[in-house]
């Protein structure tokens, strides 16, 4: 988008532990100009705390024209942050965006709704735009761009120092249950003619109590 307009700056903002710097560096390697990491020692934050931390970091940096987010986080799948962030910043918000452009200083977003229909929405800027996966084809970083990303500015902010109290959250993760492991499958070879193999299969299913007749 910046390349199309010919001016502007892309800033990537992330809330997380120190290892979240890798996510920022990945964005810098494909074209972002600088990054901001809001550091927290918490593994999981609820949507309200994440949105508040992003708001504080954004306001401390300046006034953006556009804020892009994903439609849902890959860890908690809360579907909350874009809306909470927009409300905190008093900006319009649109989600499930599959295409986007700026025309005459206004945001034009296309979104897919139930049944495969599509909406084209015009928003006043600044605004928050929550995009779907695959809206834009992400370019693969080159080795030179990866090396340049290591030299780009990444500002670190402590979540407490910007006025966000983790203890004020209303939700807390109490347990994360892993996906149950599937049992190993046994390979059984049937032999004989079609009727014989069919009978062997029925006998096997009865033995495993899958069939009860």
Number of domains making up the chain: 2
Predicted local distance difference test score (pLDDT) of residue 142: 86
* 89 and 48 part of one domain: yes
* 126 and 210 part of one domain: no
**If DSSP codes are grouped into helix, strand and coil, which group holds residue 100?**
strand
**Rounded distance between C-alpha atoms, residue 38 and residue 16, angstroms:** 6
* 105 and 199 part of one domain: no
Predicted local distance difference test score (pLDDT) of residue 54: 96
Residue ranges in the chain modelled with pLDDT below 50: none
Predicted local distance difference test score (pLDDT) of residue 1: 66
* 193 and 164 part of one domain: no
Question: pTM of this prediction?
Answer: 0.75
* 10 and 110 part of one domain: yes
Let me know if residue 143 belongs to a domain. Answer: yes
Predicted local distance difference test score (pLDDT) of residue 200: 85
**Rounded distance between C-alpha atoms, residue 35 and residue 28, angstroms:** 7
Give the β-pairing of 106-112 and 118-123: antiparallel
- Structural domain containing residue 196: 186-213
Let me know if residue 86 belongs to a domain. Answer: yes
**If DSSP codes are grouped into helix, strand and coil, which group holds residue 162?**
coil
Q: What is the pLDDT of residues 152-161, one digit of tens each?
A: 999 999 999 9
């Amino acid at each position: 988008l910046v390349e199309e307009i010919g001016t502007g700056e892309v800033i990537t903002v992330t809330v997380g532990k120190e290892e979240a710097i890798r996510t920022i560096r990945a964005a810098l390697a494909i074209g972002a100009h600088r990054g901001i990491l809001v550091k927290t020692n918490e593994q999981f934050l609820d949507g309200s705390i994440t949105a508040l931390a992003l708001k504080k970091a954004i306001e401390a940096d300046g006034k953006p024209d556009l804020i892009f987010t994903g439609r849902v986080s890959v860890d908690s799948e809360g579907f909350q942050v874009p809306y909470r962030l927009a409300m905190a910043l008093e900006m319009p918000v649109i989600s499930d965006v599959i295409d986007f452009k700026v025309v005459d200083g206004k945001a034009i977003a296309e979104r897919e709704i139930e049944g495969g229909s599509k909406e084209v929405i015009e928003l006043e800027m600044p605004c928050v735009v929550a995009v779907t996966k695959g809206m834009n084809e992400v370019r693969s970083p080159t080795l030179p761009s990866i090396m340049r990303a290591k030299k780009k500015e990444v500002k670190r902010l402590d979540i407490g120092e910007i006025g966000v109290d983790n203890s004020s959250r209303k939700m807390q993760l109490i347990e994360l249950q892993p996906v149950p492991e599937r049992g190993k499958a046994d390979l059984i070879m049937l032999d004989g003619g079609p009727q014989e193999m069919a009978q062997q299969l029925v006998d096997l299913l009865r033995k495993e109590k899958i069939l009860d007749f």
